[in-house]
Chains A and B, each alone.
Chain A
């Protein structure tokens, strides 16, 4: 059954190119600065739904996101954020790993919700006078 080569040179080349592409796009996507205040942005159906400064939250709380596609519950705390509940079919959003660091995202494709942690640069203001 296994006479002859299983993988040809061209197959190997395709695999190498794709792995290289994967590493390259990983570096590209996660290379932006991760310093500053961490902010949690929730997008619903392409629009910004809510923003929380997660480092200033002391108690974990839950956010309900409702739109015309469905609803889901997101747990927000200082340490981690995750999707607790969703009424979508595949439940991939609940099974995704909780997000901790900046640039990480959670998505629920059927409900069109994206949750991301972004880093907000602290504004360089010396003094504010009113």
Chain B
């Protein structure tokens, strides 16, 4: 299989990976609460924007790449399955719901779904790795966290999206 990208798309994707890593760094600094995974998920802004700008497949590639590089930079190899698993499944969920319900379900709803999937997958991965079902009791707290965090990031995507899609940089030619 050979995938060809135009130079512009290629540069844009690299740029989005870089922006995602920066947002992930900021994210690691402002953890709120004491629950594992109680984070704002700012890099989800980049992923959701990419679904609209560059399309689903590219967004999936970008988010997995960002999670891979980001976790190697900060969390170490042990954080890799959590980060990559969460990023992959949350992006897949957001693409699915975007294709099915987009105009009715706005960016805020999509972002909340992405955040909830991300947290859910991370808890399940943790339960598998630590071989204990007790971790699953974190789901109740994390669902509430993901509603709040998803609302915040979705709100930003909603108003960024309108402006970016109209800018000349992202116009399809």
Task: Give a binary string over B102-116; 1 marks a CB under 8 Å from any A CB, 0 the rest.
Answer: 001110110011001
Q: How many Å lie between the Cα of A95 and that of B37 in the bound state?
A: 13
- Considering the complex, which residues of chain A in the window 14-47 have a beta carbon less than 8 Å from any beta carbon of chain B? 14-15, 18-19, 21-23, 25-26, 29-30, 43, 45-46
The minimal Cβ–Cβ distance linking A90 to chain B, given in whole angstroms, is 8
Q: In the complex, are the beta carbons of A30 and B34 less than 8 A apart?
A: no
Is A15 a contact partner of B132 (Cβ separation < 8 A)? no
Task: Please give the number of chain B residues whose Cβ is less than 8 angstroms from any Cβ of chain A in the complex.
Answer: 40
Q: A6-B108, A92-B34 are in contact. Are A116 and B134 (CB under 8 A)?
A: yes
Q: How far is the CA of A108 from the CA of B116 in the complex (A)?
A: 21
* Contact between A95 and B34, CB atoms less than 8 A apart: yes
Contact A8 B106 (CB under 8 A): yes
- 1/0 contact trace for A98-114 toward B, CB 8 Å? 00000101010110101
Residues of chain B lying within 8 A (CB to CB) of residue A46? 130-132
* B75 near A89: Cβ-Cβ < 8 Å: yes
Q: How far is the CB of A68 from chain B (nearest CB, A)?
A: 11
Q: Which of B76, B132, B137 contacts A29 (CB 8 A)?
A: B137
* In the complex, residue of chain B having the shortest beta-carbon distance to the beta carbon of A69: B78
Q: Which residues of B have CB within 8 Å of A7?
A: 106, 108
Chain A, Cβ-Cβ closest to B107: A11
**Judging by beta carbons under 8 Å apart, are A92 and B143 in contact?**
no
Q: A96-B34, A97-B34, A114-B135 in contact; A14/B78 too (CB < 8 A)?
A: no
**Interface range on chain A (Cβ under 8 Å from partner):** 35 or more
Contact A8–B109 (Cβ < 8 Å):
yes
Q: What chain B residues lie within 8 Å of A30 (beta carbons)? A: 137
Is B55 part of the contact surface with A, judged by Cβ < 8 Å?
A: no
Smallest beta-carbon distance A127→chain B, Å: 35
For residue A129, CB closer than 8 A to chain B, the reply is: no
CB atoms of B132 and A114 under 8 A apart: yes
Q: Which residue of A lies closest to B103 (CB)?
A: A8
What residues of chain B lie closer than 8 Å to A45, measured between beta carbons? 130
| CB neighbours of B144 from chain A (8 A) | 18-19, 22
Q: How far is the CB of A42 from chain B (nearest CB, A)?
A: 12
Q: A19-B144, A105-B134 are in contact. List 9 more A-B contacts (CB 8 A).
A: A7-B108, A10-B104, A13-B109, A22-B143, A29-B139, A29-B140, A30-B137, A92-B31, A92-B34
What are 10 contact pairs spanning A and B, CB under 8 A? A10-B105, A11-B106, A14-B113, A22-B139, A25-B139, A46-B132, A92-B36, A107-B36, A110-B79, A116-B134
> Top 9 closest A-B pairs, CB basis?
A11-B109, A26-B140, A22-B143, A46-B131, A29-B137, A10-B105, A25-B140, A95-B34, A10-B104
* A binding-site residues for B, Cβ under 8 Å: 1, 6-11, 13-15, 18-19, 21-23, 25-26, 29-30, 43, 45-46, 69, 89-90, 92, 95-97, 103, 105, 107, 109-110, 112, 114, 116
